[in-house]
Amino acid sequence: MSECSTSCPAAEDPTLQRVRRIAESYRGKEGSLIQALHAVQSAYGYLPLEVQKIVSETLDIPLPTVSGVVTFYSFFSTEPHGKHNIRICLGTACYVRGGVRVVDRLEEILGCKVGHTTADGMFTFEIARCIGACGLAPAISIDDKVYANVNPDEIPQILASYYKAEEANA
């Protein structure tokens, strides 16, 4: 009748144990669910169901409530991200200055749609609502680095530098 819908708790993997420890540090603190989710996401990378379940049990908040919060806020992700996070600013200034063309070109080059991760796991590609570089529109950020006044034609070059760095590391 009731199937085991997720893996039954056997020996918990060490990252999940870490998640549990992080969540425990928020136990009993009033209204700390969002802060706990931030901390857990930065440790685990994203917030899949099993991670949410740990947060729910530790903070004694019903799982659907936790998931309701996770899915409400765009900063929380239930899917793993690529190695690098590209955020294309589509704040008004960047929109007016041609940000959409940057998006179109990136979709074409990366072969994946906004909100998804490339097949090789290198890039996750998202839209940002203003990264505050309005004076330098259109802008994109890759991880913490901001690229200003982006011309769509420069994009292959920018991406290539990340692949190059990757090769160098390998």
- Using CB under 8 A, which residues numbered 96 to 155 contact other proteins? 96-98, 101, 104-105, 108, 128-137, 139, 146-148, 151-153
- State yes or no: cis peptide before 138, omega within 30 of 0: yes
Nearer to other proteins, 11 or 170 (CB): 11
Which residue shows structure tokens 């893996």?
Answer: 7
The region that residue 60 occupies, defined by phi over 0 for left and psi between -120 and 50 for alpha, beta otherwise, is left
If binding means CB under 8 A, how many residues of this protein chain bind other proteins? 66
20, 43, 45, 95: which one binds other proteins (CB under 8 A): 95
Which residue shows structure tokens 């994203």?
Answer: 46
**Could you tell me if 90 and 128 are in contact, meaning their C-beta atoms sit under 8 angstroms apart?**
yes
The footprint of other proteins (CB under 8 A) covers: 1-6, 8-9, 30-38, 49, 52-53, 56-57, 62-69, 71-76, 78, 90-93, 95-98, 101, 104-105, 108, 128-137, 139, 146-148, 151-153
